[in-house]
Amino acid sequence: MIEAGRMDLDLKDVDLSHVIEESIDMVVSKAEDTQIAVRADIKGKLGVIRADERRIRQVLFNLISNSLRFTESGGEIVVSSQRVGDMVTLSVRDNGRGLAADKRATSFDSFVSGDQRGAGLGLALVKHFIDLHGGTVGMKPVDGGGLEVTCWLPVKVTKVVQNQEMLLTESLPA
């Protein structure tokens, strides 16, 4: 919930593998309608992360929805994740139209959309939610066409994370 520039995250232990599978299940009917394959590629055991499950679901939904918008019929979207030390990666890769370098530079800014159909808030929200968790997000082109957006999330939020518009605080047990 965002109120007067403040957002509190509801941090809990989250089974990220389960959230990924459920997020894919939510969009599979739309993907089937457009004949786009959406699949998970979870490398190894992710374990549990400390996160706001609702916000992580929103991140996944926004990223998968963007990929669906820009991937042609017969294309593929892969949601992948792996644990790397005290971080987990969460990536959405497609073989769609991709995004020009100049558009990638501003794609996480609010109200910037590469397509007239969108308000341009999806990737900005992704960045805000990942920032609030103490993570980072980036994107790169995929060889042969398409785009990959990768989020790096700490397994546990261990400090106060602030940005210009939102604030997260949590007391962790010692």
Q: Which two tokens stand for residue 144?
A: 């042969």
pLDDT tens-digit map of 51-69: 999 999 999 999 999 999 9
Q: Which two tokens stand for residue 45?
A: 């055991």
Alpha-carbon torsion 92, 96, 99, 100, what sign?
positive
Q: In whole angstroms, what is the distance from residue 172 CA to residue 45 CA? A: 24
For residues 7 and 23, what is the distance between their CA atoms, to the nearest angstrom?
23
Q: What are the CA-CA distances from residue 24 to residues 38, 52, 136, 160 (Å)?
A: 7, 18, 22, 31
Per-residue pLDDT tens over the stretch 123-168 = 888 999 999 999 999 999 998 889 999 999 999 865 444 443 343 4
Q: Which residue has the higher pLDDT, 109 or 14?
A: 14
Domains detected in the chain? 10-158 (3.30.565.10)
- For 16-122, strand residue ranges (E) read 37-43, 48-52, 76-84, 87-94
Burial of 76 (0-12, 13-18, 19+ CB in 10 A): middle
Tell me if 139 sits within 8 A of 150, measured CB to CB.
Answer: yes
Q: What is the pTM of this model?
A: 0.81
Given a cut of 90, whether residue 80 has pLDDT beyond it is yes
